[in-house]
Amino acid sequence: LPSADLVVYNIGVLVTFSQGPLPGGAARDPGRAGIIRGAGIAVRNGRIIAVGSSESVRSGFTAERLVDAGGRLVTPGLVESHTHLVFAGSREDELEKKLLGYTYREILEAGGGIYRTVRETRARSAGELAALALPRLEALARHGVTVVEVKTGYGLLPEEEMKLLEAIHLLGEMAGPRLPLTIVPTLLAHVVPEEYAGRRDEYVRLFAEQLVPEAAGSPWRPVYVDVFCDKGAFTPEETMRILEAGLRHGLRARIHADELAYIGCSRLPGRLPIDSADHLEYLPPENASILARAGTVATLLPTSMLAVFADRKPPVEALRRAGAVLGVAGDYNPNNMNPSLQSAIDLAVYLLGLTPLEALAAATVNAAHSLRLEGHGRIVPGAHADLVIWDVDNYNKVGYEWGYNRALHVYAKGVRVGGECGG
Ligand code: NIG
Ligand code: FE
C-alpha cells in the first residue's frame, strides 16, 4: 500500500471547494461547493494526495497518523487575507474616545490612531516586533487560520518599512516547522508620515521610486504592494503611482478602498490589475461591476466595521448580483484586536447577510484567490494539506453556533497548528 503521513477518515461532511473561487451567488450554492459525505483525506509531505470515501482512503494507505473525524465537518484551512500583525503598543484608550464621539478619522488626523502606533513601532527592533507578532500568529492558527497575509505600514519612512519587512520574515522563521503557516508579506503605503506633512507628493515619489525598488530587491521582498486609498490617507492618483511602481517591480497589487468615504478608489481596478479591494463600506453599488469585470476580489472586513463604528455597510447584494468574488477577512490591527477569523465569518452572516457556506467560501477558497494562492483554500489532490476539523457536523452550524472557537483541529501543511483541545 502507498504510505501517507496523515489520514483523516470518518468525515461527516467534507467541503472541498474543489471548483475553485466561487463568484457571486455561486458561493451560496451547495451544489458548487464540492461537498462529499462520509469522506477521507490522505496527506503526504504537506500535500493532499487523495480525497475520497472514508473507506477507500482508510484502506488505500498505510498511515503514520490516523485521525477519526468522528462524523464532523471538515473544510479547507481558513485564509486570512488582510492583517496588520506587526506593530508595537496598544490603543485601548482610543476605544473610549470613539465611544465619547470622536471618529476614527478625527483621531487619526489629530496624530493618534495609525500615527500613534507608528511612534511605538519605530521604537522597536525587527526581532522585537517579530516576537510581539508571534503570539498573534499562534492565536490566528488556534482559530483555524493556515494562510495569513501580513502588512507593513507602521514604519512609513523607507528604512522603517524595510525593518517591518524584515520583521515579517523573522516572524516566519520564529514560527518555523512548528507553525508552518503560509505567510504572504505585503508592503503597505498606510498614511503620509508626519515628517512629510505638507510634502505629500515628495513622499509618494519616495515610496514609489525608492522604497518599492529597494523592497523588491531585498531578501525580504514582499509579494504585494497595498495602499490605504481613502479620505485622510492616499488619493486614487497617488495610489495609482505607488501600485504602478509595485507592478513594474514584479509585485502584485491590492488596495484598501472606500472604507471611510468614497473618493473614487473602487474605480482603480478598472485601470490596473488589482487582486483584492478591501473594506468597501462606501462602495457605490454601481461600482460593483467594475470589481467583477476586473476579477478583483471584494474583501469584506466586518469585525473592522465594528471597530471603526462604521455608519455604512458594503453593498453586498450589488456585489453578489454583479458576480464579484466575495472574500471575508479579519483585519487584525491595533484598532481591531480580534484574532479569530471565525468572528469575521460570524459577523459576515449576521451583519452582512452571507450564508454560512458563502462566508466559509469567502474565508477559504475566495480569500486564497484574492492572494492568487490557488494551491490553498481547497481540498483537492496536489493542494497544500491545510484543513480544519470543526466541532460541528455541518456547515450551517458555523455561523449558527457563533462567538467561540469551533475549530477542533487545525492542520497547516499537514502539521497540527491549532484547535480547541491540546495534542
Ligand atoms: O485595515 N484602514 C486602514 N488600515 C487598518 C487600520 C489600521 C490602524 O488603525 O492601525 C485597517 O482597518
Ligand atoms: Fe488594513
Rg (CA), the chain: 21
What is the pLDDT at residue 423? 40
Burial of 174 (0-12, 13-18, 19+ CB in 10 A): middle
According to the 3-state scheme, what is the secondary structure of 177-216?
Answer: HHCCCEEEEEEEECCCCHHHCCCHHHHHHHHHHHHHHHHH
Q: What ranges in 265-315 are assigned the alpha helix state H?
A: 288-294, 302-307
CA of 304 to the centre of ligand 1 (A): 8
Ligand 1 atom closest to residue 331's alpha carbon, by position in its atom list = 1
User: Which ranges of the chain have pLDDT less than 70?
Assistant: 421-423
CA of 63 to the centre of ligand 1 (A): 45
Q: Pocket around ligand 1: residues whose beta carbon is below 6 Å from it?
A: 84, 113-114, 117, 228, 256, 259, 304, 331, 333-335
Q: Helix 158-175 and helix 126-142: axis angle, to 10°?
A: 50
Q: State the DSSP string of 211-245.
A: IHHHHHTSTT--SEEEEEESTTSB-HHHHHHHHHH
Amino acid at 201: D
What is the pLDDT at residue 81? 99
Q: Minimum-distance ligand to the CA of 150?
A: 2
CB contact burial 206-244 (16+ within 10 A = b; e otherwise): bbbeebbebbbeeebebbbbbbbbbbbbbbbebbbbbbb
Half-sphere exposure of 64 (CA within 13 A, CB side): 9
CA of 53 to the centre of ligand 2 (A): 41
Ligand 1 atom closest to residue 82's alpha carbon, by position in its atom list = 1
Amino acid at 329: A
CA of 82 to the centre of ligand 2 (A): 6
For the chain, how are helix, strand and coil distributed in percent, rounded to 5?
Answer: 40, 25, 35
Q: pLDDT tens digits, residue range 77-113?
A: 999 999 999 999 999 999 999 999 999 999 999 999 9
Q: Minimum-distance ligand to the CA of 117?
A: 1
Amino acid at 405: N
Q: Minimum-distance ligand to the CA of 229?
A: 1
Model's pTM, two decimal places? Answer: 0.98
Identify any residues that bridge with 189 across adjacent strands, giving them in sequence order: 227
Rounded Cα–Cα distance for residues 296 and 36 (Å): 29
